[in-house]
Structure 1
Amino acid sequence: MIQAKQLRIALLAITTAISPFAQAIDLDAGDYDTAPAGTTAGLLYLQHAERGSLYSGSDKVAGHNELDSNIGIARLVHYTDISGILTLPQILLPFGQLKGKDDASGLGKASGFGDAILAIPTWLVNDTVNHTYFAIAPYLYLPTGNYDRNKALNLGENRYKGTLQVAYSTRLTPDIAWDVAGDVTVYGDNSDAVGGTLKQDLGYQLQTNARYFLSPKADLRAGISYADAGETKQNGIKSDATTQSKFWLGSAFWVAPKTQFILTYGRDIKVENGFKEDNRLNFRLLQIF
């Protein structure tokens, strides 16, 4: 079974790195391509991830420490023109379940809702002719998710967070698109954490995506990212940040003029101070109304 020190590492990793939107905003390729003002869309994200190892620093913790997650996010967006500037007010509602397995079965399991997220990306460059876009996007996380300090696993974090993302997207050729984004996350305190108030330093992420268009309705895509969740501090004790580098690849299809499917597979390349994902399967449905 997972030992006390290892359990503490695991809990910090869960606090900072389980949800797809926990410490940063993962992008699908083309997320910053725009639609006309007045467009409303609903999105559903589903992710299944399997983790088969736990790391303390860069060293693997002995045993079979497994953690599975099934996470979903319902997202509603509406493109709006404000004084000639395109914005995208939106709300995201995460939900799902987490389950410790094998030597990490002592972590138990959790299910329910994660913390609601409000966001409003704003485009400073919106060149639809040349497919070139530059945007800034603030995200606010609200402590609305399920949280119980007596449980090892929680979907909610019991704290406010704010993320600022900057993204650029363009066409390198008529058939190849490239996106790059960076974001910084500021964490509020969790004053109801086991072991005392949880504080966390700034987190950040850098990521890039590329798409090759097979046709106007389909593409192949791949991406890579590096994230540093920020050092944590509890009861005067500092812990090193969870860091994660990962890749993904997949495809997107417009199955109807207003309906798109995206399917990607990925896994972690390297993790420090946390669980390493062996397999990650993402599905996204986009429906324009």
Structure 2
Amino acid sequence: MIIDLHRALQVTAFLLIGFSFNFAHAFIATNPSLPVTKRLTIQPIVVANNDGLSQSTFMGDPSDEIEIRNWVSSIWSQAGIGVSWLAPEFRNDTFINYGDSPFNGVRPVSDLDVIVASAGSDPANAMDSHLLRMFFVQIVPGQESLSSYSIAGRAQVDESGSAMFVGADLPGAQSMGESLGNQIIARVIAHEIGHNLDLPHVNSAENLMRIDLGEFPTLNARLSSQQVTTARQSRFATAIPEPNVISAVFAATGCLIARHRRRVRSNYRINR
């Protein structure tokens, strides 16, 4: 998926008027939230060249990052899925960042699998198999070099990896007083997460998984009931323990600790 903010706002005067309600002055349109009983965990990986230069944009400054994450969470709350982010990792690798021929047309789509494989995995870490790895790069596989007001993404379907390009001027970009840039970033990130959760593209004007956004307000991000079911069944959407289960675990742990303390104190008195 690719979106250019300037192009989106300059389509036609008619569409621009429509965007004043749905695009620039409103919010990302979703269905009502469901109780959050599943969780995704994302590991962002911010890439630079081998020499440390040309580091890719992540999500802008801390306030932009918070807003983008909140929008992503809002989108996926309609499926009852929470989104957690780990601290970004930083990596210097020119191939991951640009590919072999960074200024020669479209980057091969096949580069995505190579990028994701480079992350490796830890078989001893149970969480590792449920982790979504999101690489922030300068050129996304399947795309060419884009403007500083653009965003593009490509994700593996029903697999753990994705690559994102965020133009340096897009985070925090304003339109008619609204942080439209952050909302666009959040929508594209949420779209790519959908692919990781086994959601294909659809031809529905208001759907999160629609790919061709040229004729429709970009900020529509609804999910159908079937998409919600599919996403929640993904192995990457792990169950959140119910509060009573957590309480029972803590209660049992507390009893064990109390018993252990009593034993220690008894032994202490006897030995003294």
TM over 0.5: no
Higher helix share: 2
TM-score norm. by structure 2 comes to: 0.30
**Considering only CA atoms, is the larger Rg found in Structure 1 or Structure 2?**
2
Larger relative contact order, structure 1 or 2 (CA cutoff 8 Å, min sep 6): 2
